[in-house]
Structure 1
């Protein structure tokens, strides 16, 4: 029963879908379902991109991929990226950084980070669409959610007073990371069966991006927050897409 409730919580948190049922009592249980949610989100995005690409307008297909992702997730991770950029580049101390990150207003650093990353993602998606390499696009979205599990399972929560993501980070540990890693690798093998070498490329890009984000966050605020998890997801997605696009050239 808790497993099903974890599924409900994962999809309610990561998407706009109002799944019926009760949320799990232990929010960390939802982490087991994050890669599955990523697989679903990525599949919907790719369907939107493929439908537009059939018209031959690849630039618009790339835009459809990105916009559908933002709409399906309520821009949750993009918001985290903006808050992280504002806080990490605007705060001088841990306290000031966390205070800025909690501010709902987007500053200049956040706006620039969003514009630049969305541009990078659009360029990567455009190239993959032109190559008709849709599987790496789904893989990037899947691994982006796995990256959140990696950080939540290995790093402490940065805010002593708690916060939005505290219930997910609290209780997360090795079992969550082990199960989601195995599940993610299995799903990647199924998605990328035509080019199995891309599994190593995608995993390496996701791991490198997530470790760098985690290291920067630990140095800056001593742990993670919901904004850090969201930003890590955005960075991971872009890294996987760019790496796979370069490999497919």
Structure 2
């Protein structure tokens, strides 16, 4: 495998999922990949989506360490709220934006084309606002009591949702955009192995209950598959917004499950 494929993959993953900058060597300053690298870019897209869970685990480790430090100097709910804010900052809030847009589209009960137009609108409707408030509140309350390892597992699982959503066989809802670029780019076996690995990563998330972490991750990812099935029927496939919604949904579900006593 040419090293440039992995370089492209890491660049795409970092610049898509985090605020970390990485110059685009293929654009020549134009911002658009050159035709000669179109195949490489597609292969790189699959690898970028495949490494998403491990970037999520790294992000979770950073957030978990910050959370632990904050809980030493302030009340747990405040520490949770500040950690949620930091997570949004480190990801540019893109996943939250995708969640709001996806919920607005689904809540509109309009036909496919109209729903997709709603997703592209810069405005956030009432369904989107409620979804954002609910998710941010749940994440704040659960982070207030989550272990550091639970944070790592939750954010790894949230990015594993992206890997599963980009598995082969799941189409793009549009002919262009991020969804079209990454849809179907991850081999199914890679997506399955990633899900199993993230479930194993969650074993130490709940001290004294080694079964709870893997069970919670498995249930959250199964719920994601049901959601993806509905979205494919409703919208015709995935979009970049759907990937963001999948991430925030799974992170929230895993955090809830891992903090249940």
Q: TM-score, normalised by structure 1?
A: 0.88
Deviates more, 1:89-98 or 1:203-212: 203-212
Which of 72, 90, 108 matches 1:72?
A: 90
Aligned 8 A contact 2:213 2:258 in 1: no
Matched, 1:146 2:164: no
Counterparts of 1:174-213 in structure 2, within 5 Å, are 174-189=188-203, 195-213=209-227
Aligned to 1:97: 115
Residues 10 and 34, structure 1, Cα contact 8 Å, conserved in 2: yes
Q: 1:29 to 1:109 in 2, by over 3 A?
A: same
Residue of structure 2 in register with 1:168 after alignment: 182
Cα distance, 1:59–1:114 mapped onto 2, change above 3 Å: same
Matches of 2:100 and 2:228, distance apart in 1: 16
1:117–1:185 Cα change, 3 Å: closer
TM-aligned CA deviation for residue 180 of structure 1: 2.5
> For residue 156 of structure 1, what is the aligned residue in structure 2?
171
Equivalent of 1:17, from 11, 17, 20?
20
2: distance between equivalents of 1:193 and 1:59?
21
Alpha-carbon distance in structure 2 between the residues aligned to 1:193 and 1:18: 37
Report the TM-score when normalising by structure 2.
0.84
* CA apart distance, 1:196: 2.5
**SS, match of residue 73 in structure 2:** coil
Contact 2:50–2:186 (CA<8 Å) still a contact in 1? no
In the superposition, relative to structure 1, how do residues 186 and 244 fare at CA in structure 2: closer, same or farther (>3 Å)? closer
Preserved CA contact (<8 Å) 2:202 2:214 = no
| C-alpha deviation, 1:20, in angstroms | 5.8
**2:32 matched residue in structure 1:** none
Per-residue CA deviation, residues 5-53 of structure 1 (Å, 9 max, x unaligned), is 3122211110001146747622222112101110111111112211110
Cα contact 1:37–1:142 (8 A) shared by 2: yes
Shift of 1:91: 4.1
Q: Which of 112, 120, 143 is residue 130 of structure 2 equivalent to?
A: 112
Unpaired runs of at least 5, structure 2: 27-39
Q: 1:182 to 1:204 in 2, by over 3 A?
A: closer
